[in-house]
Amino acid sequence: MADGKNGMNMVARRSTRVFENDIDVRQIEDSVPDAGVCYIRKGDEKSQERDSTRLTEMLVHTRTSSMSSLAAPVDGEIITTFQRVSRSDSEEVFKGEVVENPKMYGRPRNFGTILPGIYRSGYPEAEDYGFLRDLSLRTIVTLVDKDYPEGYQTFMQSSGINHVVIKMEGTKKVEIPQPVMNSILEVVMDRQNHPLLLHCNQGRHRTGCAVAVIRKVLGWSVESTVSEYTSYAHPKVRQVDVNYIRQFEIASLVGIIDPKTTRTASFSKPRPISRSHKTFRFAVFTIFIFVLCTLTVFRYRIA
């Protein structure tokens, strides 16, 4: 597979715009493409402006975060920080505890909070749309390419949700390609896409591996990361997934994560302003001051 950032095969659809990192964006139609790794649908602009007030402000220095005690944001709430817990507390949350996550009516199977404004689940069904609408989602990342459940596309369109499909093969027999994981992290770590839901079919294996990589980026220990994966994958834990989680190296996220600052890395760290951009802004400011002074002198002479 080609490089994860620029090598993804995109499926041509009705209109095109730039989304992030020069990735082409196509609006999806009623049919699901037969090929392609990633495609994105742009939601309603007014809905996105409304949701912008709910964006999470991610900390520059983040070590770890608790999943079990984080609740979904309520209307009007702006979450400004990650909830911090110590490494020992984080490990205690999952230590030796394996609990199957049954389907709850009104919520997707295996629904959970990864971080404030970042959620995980199995494939949403019609009965779940109301709950998801209350989360004011801006983006849904789907890790499987399949026919939509009844009303799913209508729900996303009416809610102004950007739909990103990153086709990940089942983890049972196929190793997860690095470019695929890079693509997932690029979307999930961009705060402009939050609030965001990450899901596959059951919310166990594909989603579990992706969340595990996020946990390792945040500095979780391997044992805590595996315990969380197990709690969601039970009773169908895959040893190949556990091996992937244990062996995954953060250094492989080239261009996405700085391995030297992994334990204090930021999700969605704001991009620094380039030198040329700073020069341009200074020039505009200088011209503005010059024009203002000229007009003031001119008015003074007339008076």
In a domain, 126, yes or no: yes
> How far out from the chain centre does Cα 12 lie?
23
As given in the structure block, the two tokens for residue 127 are 């009965």
Do 289 and 153 sit in the same domain of this protein? no
Do 59 and 142 sit in the same domain of this protein? yes
Structural element, H or E, at residue 199: strand 196-199
CB-CB contact of 143 with 184 (8 Å): yes
pLDDT of residue 85 exceeding 80: no
pLDDT of residue 20 exceeding 50: no
As given in the structure block, the two tokens for residue 274 are 């380039």
Do 114 and 199 sit in the same domain of this protein? yes
Task: Tell me the CATH number at 103.
Answer: 3.90.190.10
- Reduced to 3 states, what is the DSSP secondary structure of residue 139? strand
Rounded to 5 degrees, φ, ψ at 29 are: -100, -165
Do 198 and 226 sit in the same domain of this protein? yes
Between helix 206-217 and helix 239-247 the angle, nearest 10°, is 20
Measured between alpha carbons, how far is 214 from 245 in angstroms, rounded to an integer? Answer: 11
Closest of 168, 152, 132, 162 to residue 36, by C-alpha: 168
How many folded domains does the chain comprise? 2
In a domain, 1, yes or no: no
Query: Which class for 301: exposed (0-12), middle (13-18), buried (19 or more C-beta within 10 A)?
Result: exposed
Q: What is the pLDDT of residues 23-66, one digit of tens each?
A: 333 232 332 333 334 444 444 444 434 433 333 332 222 222 32
> How far out from the chain centre does Cα 275 lie?
29
In a domain, 136, yes or no: yes
pLDDT of residue 222 exceeding 50: yes
The residue segments making up the domain with residue 293 are 274-303
In a domain, 209, yes or no: yes
Q: Which is more confident, 186 or 18?
A: 186
Do 95 and 215 sit in the same domain of this protein? yes
DSSP 8-state code for residue 31? S
- Entry pTM: 0.56
> How far out from the chain centre does Cα 125 lie?
21
Measured between alpha carbons, how far is 98 from 104 in angstroms, rounded to an integer? Answer: 18
Q: What is the pLDDT of residues 87-99, one digit of tens each?
A: 333 333 333 333 4
Output the CA–CA distances (angstroms, integers) from residue 242 to 48, 83, 174, 175, 247, in the order listed.
Answer: 37, 26, 14, 12, 9
Do 288 and 254 sit in the same domain of this protein? no
Catalytic site positions: 200
Closest of 160, 143, 146, 129 to residue 42, by C-alpha: 160
Do 286 and 186 sit in the same domain of this protein? no
